[in-house]
A and B are shown apart, each in its own frame.
Chain A
Amino acid sequence: MSIRRSERQAATGFLLPFVFLYLFVFVLPIGYAAYQSFLKTERSGLGLGASGAARTVFAGLDNYRLALAKPEFIDGMVRVFGFALVEVPLMIGTATLLALLLDAASARWVPLFRSSFFLPYGVPGVIASILWGFLYVPNVSPIVEVLGHVGLNLDPLGSSTATFWSLANIVTWEFAGYNMLILVAQLKAIDNELYEAARIDGANAWHEIRHIKLPLIRPAIVLTTIFTIIGTLQLFAEPFVLKGKSTAIDSSYTPNLAAYTQAFTNNNQHLAAAQAVILALATSLLSFGFLYLVGRKANR
């Protein structure tokens, strides 16, 4: 009885810091944003000074209606869905490939390669975008210049399609190593006896990957896929930094950028809050939808 109580106290003690932070830096701001999204500012006439004094009133779903009526917001939404469609296979494919290479029996200098693959994750997104920005702009970029000399004329930010892939490249560069590390950890946890048994049965390296490694790291693949879906839908820093360098990126290129513009350029926090809530709902729908699909398949 007394042991149980002390265990419970210990558990509470360990949980408390988490719960505290979770409530104050996560739940509370989200609740506040949701609350803000149901308000609007009412004015009259020119809206200047005391005669047109602004009042904040309950708006019901007005902000949501307004947000969804903006074609550029919907365009941004469609764009990030398309981005996720491209980025998820690209990211997971790259991360899995790197992880399997590092895990291969014949791999050399594993710690060196593992750290160098992971290194880009240590570069903050904004810095990575500035860095890649310099590598993308013709006239400034050494890469573009060298390729130009061999007859390959590249303009990575020159059109909307090129910009799309250039962004995908930055995001993959940044996060593939991180996702790889999660996969590597799970690969390391596979029991060696399984490989021994497989080898006795005559399995080669390819068979091991196909029938042992991939099925057993499935949970890690699902996890990294969820990370990637969330990350791509919330795309912000990369297009924000490259905005000045590419004509393809406008002020509502992604939903997060649109919300930023509403809040910090247009001073319309209520609409920005509604846009953020819509994005959050779409993201959770997609993430849970994916989990549900995966779960159904596994149970079959």
Chain B
Amino acid sequence: MMRRRYRRGGTALAAMVLALGLTACGGSDNGDDNSSAKKPGEKIELTFWSWVPGVDKAVALWNSQNPDVQVKLADKTVGSQGGYAKMHAAVKADKAPDLVQMEYQNIPEFLLDDELVDLGEYGADDVADKFVDWQWKQVSYGEGVYAIPQASGPMGLFYRKDLFEKWGIQPPTTWPEFKEAAKVVREHDAYICTFPPGNSAWFTALAWQNGANWFGIDGDTWTVDIDSPETLQVAQFWDEMVKEDLIKTVGDFSEEWNKDLNTGKIVSWPTAQWGDGVLAAAAPKTEGKWAAAPIPQWDPSNFMSANWGGSSTAVLKGTDHAEEAMEFATWLNSDPESIDLLIAGAYGWPAAKDALEGSALDRPYPFFGGQEINDIFVEADTAIDVNWGWIPTVSETYAHLNDGFQKAVDGEGSFVETVKEAQQQTVEDLEARDLNAQG
């Protein structure tokens, strides 16, 4: 099939040429051609799969403003809970939706089967400066741009201000201080936080904060560096916390965790900005008693935050309207009105530049005693290592970490050993997919 590579400007013209070209080849459409532009006055409908709460309102707003390009929100299955599997299947069956919600770490997995439209061909580079640099990097692989960034999760620390004050604990600014605080909390028959053994994305973010850089590309080889000194330091820290009975090891988002938060048995949570809504829902009885602080540091002279969770809007191969799809995706994730609607659904931290000021995030939070918590996260967002990337087999790496962490919590092995094993297993995962990998 012919490859198209046009970047800035002239998109419509190129699309027209292409459409002519297609007619000339007898209109063969095998999923690789996805750019036939909308004819003037023609009405088209784009299908969009997304599980983000509040996205329906943003879609409704777009539909009211764009009668010719209607977006239909169809499937709401969360990606990691079967949504991605459905997307893979839909592309294979040639029944793919035009647009989908896609977390950053899943983009390479979709590139592996060539399932994403390179938006660079539709002028994505022209809108790059609307978005924060590091998040734009999360959707760029090689020469291509494979999604429009939507939101992320810069990290901070939520803690029970009332209890910390009562027990004479300063909000910890470093991880060693965090450990000391944990000891004091234990004296009051509570725990400072949980290490969720089944949610290694959280651990990954903490390794990211310490300067780990697990995945990379070297020429035509994926590089894996999970067992780096930075990661091992983080793993060992939490190993000790568990060994000394300073933290709980229940799952985050579990009923037990909710109850512990609600009854003051767990008194802090190092988490992403989007955790505010989760916390308010999990522990409604503690309204007004929380506060936000910057995430504890490893090296206080070099302030670093991390990112937990991040999502984008991607265009799947097989669409007939890639250009309009990209237009919608850009609008959805950068238009202030749309962003405000998404914020109301607690979708995370906007990937669009300068989105905080005047937005729905720029306000005092009653749950946090009236604190303007997002001042903390503005700082955090500028202190994230921008070089973090992903590999196509991240889900498998997470599974290895989860399985190992769970065993460690059960008394078999340790977090450090798990990290070392995950290194080896991840290289094998990549090789099992017939990819070049180096550990």
| CB contact under 8 A between A139 and B259, given known A244-B251, A244-B254, A267-B88 | yes
B108 interface hit (Cβ, 8 Å)? yes
Taken together as a complex, chains A and B put the C-alpha atoms of A251 and B113 apart, in Å, by: 24
On chain B, the residues within 8 Å of A48 by CB distance are 108, 111-112, 141-142
Taken together as a complex, chains A and B put the C-alpha atoms of A54 and B88 apart, in Å, by: 14
A263 interface hit (Cβ, 8 Å)? yes
On chain B, the residues within 8 Å of A138 by CB distance are 256
Which residue of chain B has the shortest Cβ distance to A249 in the bound complex? B406
A47 interface hit (Cβ, 8 Å)? yes
The answer to whether A46 touches B114, judged by C-beta atoms less than 8 angstroms apart, is no
On chain A, the residues within 8 Å of B434 by CB distance are 40-44, 47
Chain A interface: which of B18-26, B45-53, B395-403? B395-403
The answer to whether B395 touches A265, judged by C-beta atoms less than 8 angstroms apart, is yes
The answer to whether A266 touches B255, judged by C-beta atoms less than 8 angstroms apart, is no
**A5-50 residues at the B interface, CB under 8 angstroms:** 40-50
B260 interface hit (Cβ, 8 Å)? yes
Contact with B435, one of A47, A137, A252, A265 (Cβ below 8 angstroms): A47
Taken together as a complex, chains A and B put the C-alpha atoms of A139 and B261 apart, in Å, by: 12
Taken together as a complex, chains A and B put the C-alpha atoms of A44 and B430 apart, in Å, by: 11
Taken together as a complex, chains A and B put the C-alpha atoms of A52 and B402 apart, in Å, by: 30
Which residue of chain B has the shortest Cβ distance to A245 in the bound complex? B254
Taken together as a complex, chains A and B put the C-alpha atoms of A135 and B31 apart, in Å, by: 50
The answer to whether B406 touches A250, judged by C-beta atoms less than 8 angstroms apart, is yes
| Interface size grouping (class) on chain B | 35 or more
A115 interface hit (Cβ, 8 Å)? no
B432 interface hit (Cβ, 8 Å)? yes
The answer to whether A45 touches B436, judged by C-beta atoms less than 8 angstroms apart, is yes
Which residue of chain A has the shortest Cβ distance to B113 in the bound complex? A54
Taken together as a complex, chains A and B put the C-alpha atoms of A137 and B255 apart, in Å, by: 8
A243 interface hit (Cβ, 8 Å)? yes
Taken together as a complex, chains A and B put the C-alpha atoms of A228 and B111 apart, in Å, by: 43
B3 interface hit (Cβ, 8 Å)? yes
A159 interface hit (Cβ, 8 Å)? yes
**B403-439 residues at the A interface, CB under 8 angstroms:** 403, 406-407, 409-410, 432-436
- Closest Cβ–Cβ distance, residue B194 to chain A (whole Å): 12
The answer to whether A54 touches B435, judged by C-beta atoms less than 8 angstroms apart, is no
B144 interface hit (Cβ, 8 Å)? yes
The answer to whether A53 touches B255, judged by C-beta atoms less than 8 angstroms apart, is no
B221 interface hit (Cβ, 8 Å)? yes
Which residue of chain B has the shortest Cβ distance to A57 in the bound complex? B434
| CB contact under 8 A between A43 and B112, given known A50-B3, A134-B255 | yes
C-beta contact mask, A147-172 vs B, less than 8 Å → 1, else 0?
A: 00000000000011000000000000
Taken together as a complex, chains A and B put the C-alpha atoms of A190 and B64 apart, in Å, by: 73
Which residue of chain A has the shortest Cβ distance to B409 in the bound complex? A247
B308 interface hit (Cβ, 8 Å)? no
The answer to whether A49 touches B402, judged by C-beta atoms less than 8 angstroms apart, is no
On chain B, the residues within 8 Å of A44 by CB distance are 220, 434, 436
Contact with A247, one of B109, B198, B432 (Cβ below 8 angstroms): B198
- Closest Cβ–Cβ distance, residue A185 to chain B (whole Å): 39
A206 interface hit (Cβ, 8 Å)? no
Which residue of chain A has the shortest Cβ distance to B143 in the bound complex? A49
The answer to whether A261 touches B399, judged by C-beta atoms less than 8 angstroms apart, is yes
Taken together as a complex, chains A and B put the C-alpha atoms of A44 and B222 apart, in Å, by: 11
**Contact sample, A vs B, 11 pairs, CB 8 Å cutoff:** A42-B434, A48-B111, A53-B114, A134-B255, A137-B254, A139-B259, A252-B403, A265-B85, A266-B396, A267-B109, A267-B113
Further pairs besides A72-B403, A140-B255, A247-B198: 8, Cβ < 8 Å: A42-B434, A46-B217, A47-B112, A49-B142, A137-B256, A140-B259, A250-B402, A265-B80
The 9 closest A-B pairs by CB, nearest first: A45-B220, A250-B403, A247-B406, A264-B85, A43-B434, A251-B399, A47-B435, A265-B395, A48-B111
